[in-house]
Amino acid sequence: MTNRVVRVASGQGFWGDWLEAPRRQVEGGPVDYLMLDYLAEVTMSILQKQKERDPKMGYARDFVGAVESVLPAVLTQGVRVIANAGGVNPVACADAILAMAAAKGAQSKLTLGVVTGDDLLPRLDELLAGGHALNNMDTGSPLASVRDRVIAANAYIGSVPIIDALARGAQIVITGRSTDTALTMAPLRHEFGWKADAWNQLAAGIIAGHIIECGAQCSGGNCLVDWRNIPDLADVGYPIVEANADGTFVITKHPGTGGRVSVASVTEQLVYEMGDPRTYITPDVVADFTSIRLTQEGPDRVRVHGITGAPATDKLKVSVAYRDGWKAVGSLVYAWPDALEKAQAADRVLRARLERIGLRFDQILTEFVGASATHGPLAGDAGKHAPEVEMRIGVRSSNRQMVERFTREIVPLVLNGPPSVTGFAGGRPKVEEIVAYWPALIDKTVVTPVVEIRQ
């Protein structure tokens, strides 16, 4: 057993995260790996829509700039980058990275590992015919019921192909729908040689991944406890895992950066998007969040220990994206006096008009931002005295024309509805196609990840 510490730094928590973070992570102090997580359920749908418009798209384009900003560290300090930036098109993502490197004169020095095999779309009918029903995990419905509207189907794959890419010398590993947590666990497993049945260590790696997969959300960002006094969020430090071979690790951040790593900040991230804490299921291991122990061992240093895991299941999760109609959301702002009453009156007028012209929707929702949009009736009557209230109304329908027509009915209210109205500078709202998410399970044996090394 080695006393070596391996440092994995988190540089992106989602597609859209702070562009400065990756570079700051490799320049702020020693790190061995830079982990960039770009994918959420919603992101895969967006990427799929982009790939439909242009077959060279479908990956997180921010990644190209991120790699460019850390290229010196990759080439000279040996920092290795692991990212699920490939989205629904890892090969195009790798092409873009190599093109960027070539433009910088660095292509010959760069080795990429590209992980594919998560894309089940080309095999979907064969899988369905073979008895893999891909029932919706929430509703139980068989995928056949929406098959003709499916535009993407990806299995969440685990650490093994990433480790393979690292073992074959990849300095940058690009995956598609790999699990967020595998991006952190894989380099630890690679470095420490954890076996496939080292359940406690694998679970620890997964939990380390869960803590840092949302970037600064564990190091002072979006932290409710003592939020006013969290130092210098303008200069917030993104998290770093300092891991040991036995599976214990410390969450910290670079010295001199803002934010805070505390038991409270780490705990908030641990419970984020949690289901049953005893069974956090991943392709590699089932982690038990009720085993986690946290100790503040110094300023901005939280030690995480005690973690246990159990054998993985024989399934992988599958995320299917399918077309599910159209939606549009529009808004107008009403000012004091009686802002809420005016906004409510406008909503009644608008709905009456929609009714009279015969528009029918699968769903119509009005919220009053400033009064009750986020906390509903729990917000009480504070909104009655609000200096302004935004009427925010959305509709959803399988009929695009109905939604299109709806978008034309909002702005007229500025002149022909209740008074003291503004905030319509954006004009008509945009009609958006809904790509909905269908979670399912599939037998592990039918999914084979593939690793390609490119230079």
List of residues contacting another protein (CB under 8 A): 41-42, 45, 138, 222, 224-225, 264, 267-278, 289-294, 306, 324, 327, 329, 363-365, 367, 369, 373-378, 380, 392, 394-396, 434-437, 439
- Comparing CB distances to another protein, the nearer of 170 and 435 is 435
- Comparing CB distances to another protein, the nearer of 69 and 265 is 265
Nearest to 8 by CA among 262, 205, 232, 299: 205
CB 153 within 8 A of CB 54: no
Distance CA(163)–CA(435), nearest Å, equals 32
In sequence order, what are the residues at sequence separation of 6 or more whose Cβ sits closer than 8 angstroms to the Cβ of residue 25? 9, 10, 11, 31, 34, 70, 238, 240, 254
- Comparing CB distances to another protein, the nearer of 268 and 452 is 268
- Comparing CB distances to another protein, the nearer of 234 and 271 is 271
- Comparing CB distances to another protein, the nearer of 164 and 347 is 347
Q: In what order do the strands lie in the sheet with 286-288?
A: 280-281, 286-288, 308-310
- Comparing CB distances to another protein, the nearer of 56 and 375 is 375
Rounded to a whole number of angstroms, the minimum distance from the CB of residue 272 to another protein is 5
Rounded to a whole number of angstroms, the minimum distance from the CB of residue 331 to another protein is 10
Rounded to a whole number of angstroms, the minimum distance from the CB of residue 66 to another protein is 24
DSSP 53-95: H-TT--S-THHHHHHHHHHHIIIII--EEEE-TTTT-HHHHHH
H or E element at residue 174: strand 172-175
Rounded to a whole number of angstroms, the minimum distance from the CB of residue 374 to another protein is 5
Rounded to a whole number of angstroms, the minimum distance from the CB of residue 344 to another protein is 17
For the record, the structure tokens of 322 come out as: 């399918």
- Comparing CB distances to another protein, the nearer of 41 and 232 is 41
Rounded to a whole number of angstroms, the minimum distance from the CB of residue 118 to another protein is 19
361-397 per-residue burial string, b: 16 or more CB within 10 A, e: under 16: beebebbbbbbbbeeeeeeeeebeebebbbbbbbbbb
Q: Token pair 């908030």 is at which residue?
A: 268
DSSP strand pairing (249-252 vs 240-243): antiparallel
Rounded to a whole number of angstroms, the minimum distance from the CB of residue 399 to another protein is 16
